[in-house]
Amino acid sequence: SLNLVTIGGSSKGAAADRRSPGELEALALDAGRRLEGAPAEEIAKWATDTFGARFCVTSSMADAVVAHVFSRVSPGVDVVFLDTGLHFPETLKVRDTVAATMNVNVRSIRPRMTVGQQDGEYGPRLFARNPDECCFLRKVEPLERALADYDAWATGLRRDESPTRANTPVVAFDPRKGKVKVNPIAAWTQAEVDRYISRWNVPVNELFKKGYGSIGCWPCTRRTKAGEDPRAGRWAMFEKTECGLHV
Ligand code: SF4
């Protein structure tokens, strides 16, 4: 499909048997209780042992910590990246470094429309007028399409990133998607992330060194000031702090 660029190997998402939503919910409930407090590696191992090829990691390529944890525990795992067409070059560089240096299969997923096609249909700079609609077209729908190949997916959400993420479970069933969401580093602090990055020399987005606290598409990301909430630089002109991927 033209909407899908596969880097570093072929997809293996569709082969294995599917589970019913009821089975997935029961699995998630049990694992969420059992794995709270477990090391990220143990959570990652549970996820890939349980879901096999019906599992992927999603990454915004702010850093590659979660992808790296999985590459050690489950080499060859699929890593899904939403290529909105509006990323900073520094972000695409992290994606390409991950694909080139880590034992994972990066799948770069594109929206149905190019930015130019979207400008034609919705008018230019939709992100400045209706960011929810822009995020739906360029992130939410592509993620749903990508996740159709999987029963479960992992994210790098952490409780200490923002108040909206303070109750992030390590494993939970997402009733809207009918899939299991795995957050292996939910309990990690920023200091633990930093330690992991330096211990394993994990690729990190160069924008962090240039004053950005949280990184998304370039039109909706600004630098943050010292002491400011890292996510304050996202959709700064709107009352919006989440793109809808994690609602
Ligand atoms: Fe559009 Fe901004 Fe959302 Fe990116 S973050 S999809 S540019 S509204």
Q: Quick one: pLDDT band at residue 17, thresholds 50, 70, 90?
A: low
Is 238 inside a domain boundary?
A: no
Sign of the four-CA dihedral 109, 115, 121, 122: positive
Q: Active-site residue among 65, 66, 152, 243? A: 243
By the 8 A CB rule, do 206 and 88 touch?
Answer: no
Nearest-atom index, ligand 1, CA of 216 = 5
Average pLDDT over residues 186-197: 96
Annotated binding-site ranges: 134-135, 217, 220
219, part of any domain: no
Angle CA(184)–CA(210)–CA(226) in degrees, nearest 5? 80
Give the tokens for residue 124: 């230019």
Q: For residue 235, is it within any domain?
A: no
How many domains does the structure of the chain reveal?
A: 1
Q: How sure is the predictor about 224, in pLDDT bands with cuts at 50, 70 and 90?
A: confident
The mean pLDDT value for 13-26 works out to: 78
For residues 171-181, give the mean pLDDT: 96
Q: Predicted confidence band at 231 (pLDDT cuts at 50, 70, 90)?
A: confident
Q: Which amino acid is at 82?
A: L
Q: What is the pLDDT of residue 14?
A: 46
pLDDT in tens, 104-153: 999 999 999 999 999 999 999 999 999 999 999 999 999 999 999 999 99
Q: Which of 114, 220, 242, 247 to mutate to test the pocket of ligand 1 (most atoms within 8 A of CB)?
A: 220
For residues 231 and 19, the model is more confident at 19
Residue 167: inside a domain, yes or no? yes
Q: Is the residue at 216 inside a domain?
A: no
pLDDT recorded at residue 3: 39
Burial of 20 (0-12, 13-18, 19+ CB in 10 A): exposed
Query: Which parts of the chain fold into alpha helices (H)?
Result: 21-35, 40-51, 65-73, 89-101, 115-122, 126-129, 131-135, 141-147, 190-200
List residues near ligand 1 (CB under 6 A): 84, 86, 127, 131, 134-135, 138-139, 216-217, 219-220, 243
Average pLDDT of the chain is: 90
**pLDDT recorded at residue 234:** 79
Mean pLDDT of 181-206: 97
Region of poorest pLDDT, from 6-10, 61-65, 98-102, 241-245: 6-10
Residue 109 inside a domain? The answer is yes
Q: What are 31-87's pLDDT values in tens digits?
A: 999 999 999 999 999 999 999 999 999 999 998 999 999 999 999 999 999 999 999
- Residue closest via CA to ligand 1's atom 3 equals 135
Show the domain range for 57: 4-211
Is residue 232 in some structural domain? no
Q: 233 lies in a domain? A: no
Q: Are 4 and 78 in contact (CB under 8 A)?
A: no
The atom of ligand 1 lying closest to the CA of 234 is 5
Q: Is 199 exposed, middle or buried (0-12, 13-18, 19+ CB in 10 A)?
A: exposed
Query: Can 56 be counted among the known catalytic residues?
Result: no
Question: For the domain that residue 104 is a member of, what is the CATH number?
Answer: 3.40.50.620
